[in-house]
């Protein structure tokens, strides 16, 4: 793997392990492009945790949006090496609007309203994961999968599990992801049950679509999310279980899904 791709892979392993695993099951030729998109998503997703007030976050997101525009018209991107990497991709012209939509969707993070329920969380995830899934499909060299409903469903499933797993850490930071009273064990269990049921339904929807084998890297994070869904089922949907915060593992079940090329 080229040095730049190795650096991007290490960054993904630190900040987005599930998508790092997905990148590793990509064809080697497409891996650097996929990793560059993952790195961009990480940068945008982490804006909220890097700023002390929403205004600063909006300024930072505006900077990224403007930098995308500059790169799109071939102006220099020396201040953002990641953008230079992205702008060099042959799919850049189609990638750029998807990355711009991702920046716009992440503005919601800065307002910090807790999700009223699973449906509200899924609405947010649809806005955030759809442009990312499309960008990854382009980076993978599968433009026919842009806008694919099954890929989008798998992305939302992975996102729902991620929001459950992140809830305890966000509370420790003084942020509420969910409107439910998480101090109440019954409310926590109900939230976990509702979110897990929806995530499982979305994974089943994606699996039923019989995507081509080459699409597996796009749904691999949802395959990894199954282990956290299984843990929730075993522990009575206790989202404060510290094991949920542990990184996903490449289990025999995941390897089988990869080998078959299906969820």
pLDDT digits (tens, 9 = 90+) for 75-87: 554 557 788 888 8
The per-residue pLDDT for 75 is: 56
Residue 183, classed as helix, strand or coil, is coil
Residue 115, classed as helix, strand or coil, is strand
Q: Which CATH architecture has domain 3-260?
A: Orthogonal Bundle (1.10)
The per-residue pLDDT for 97 is: 95
Tens digits of residue pLDDT in 177-228: 999 999 999 999 999 999 999 999 999 999 999 899 999 999 999 999 999 9
Q: 255 pLDDT band (50/70/90 cuts)?
A: very high
Q: What's the whole-model pTM score?
A: 0.93
CA atoms of 260 and 219, how far apart (whole Å): 13
The per-residue pLDDT for 5 is: 72
Tens digits of residue pLDDT in 21-59: 999 999 999 999 999 999 999 999 999 989 988 999 999
- Virtual torsion, Cα 171, 9, 86, 158, nearest 10 deg: -40
2: which 2 tokens? 């080229």
Tens digits of residue pLDDT in 86-105: 888 889 999 999 999 999 99
Cα 124 from chain centroid (whole Å):
12
């Amino acid at each position: 793997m080229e040095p730049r791709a190795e650096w991007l892979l290490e960054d993904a392993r630190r900040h987005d392990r599930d998508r790092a695993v997905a990148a590793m099951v990509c064809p080697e030729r497409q891996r650097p492009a996929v990793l560059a998109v993952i790195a961009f998503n990480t940068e945008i997703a982490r804006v909220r945790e890097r700023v002390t007030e929403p205004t600063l976050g909006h300024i930072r997101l505006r900077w990224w949006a403007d930098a995308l525009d500059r790169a799109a018209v071939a102006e220099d991107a020396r201040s953002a090496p990641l953008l230079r990497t992205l702008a060099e991709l042959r799919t850049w012209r189609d990638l750029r609007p998807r990355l711009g939509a991702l920046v716009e969707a992440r503005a919601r993070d800065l307002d910090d309203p807790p999700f009223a329920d699973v449906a509200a969380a899924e609405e947010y995830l649809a806005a955030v994961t759809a442009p990312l899934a499309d960008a990854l499909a382009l980076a993978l060299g599968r433009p026919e999968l842009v806008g694919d409903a099954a890929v989008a469903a798998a992305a939302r499933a992975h996102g729902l599990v991620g929001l459950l797993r992140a809830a305890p850490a966000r509370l420790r930071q003084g942020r509420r992801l969910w409107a439910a009273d998480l101090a109440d064990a019954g409310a926590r269990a109900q939230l976990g049950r509702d979110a897990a049921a929806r995530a499982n339904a979305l994974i089943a929807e994606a699996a039923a679509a019989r995507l081509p084998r080459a699409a597996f890297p796009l749904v691999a994070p949802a395959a990894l999310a199954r282990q956290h869904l299984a843990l929730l089922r075993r522990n009575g949907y206790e989202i404060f279980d510290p094991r949920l915060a542990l990184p996903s593992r490449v289990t025999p079940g995941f390897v089988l899904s990869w080998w078959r090329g299906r969820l």
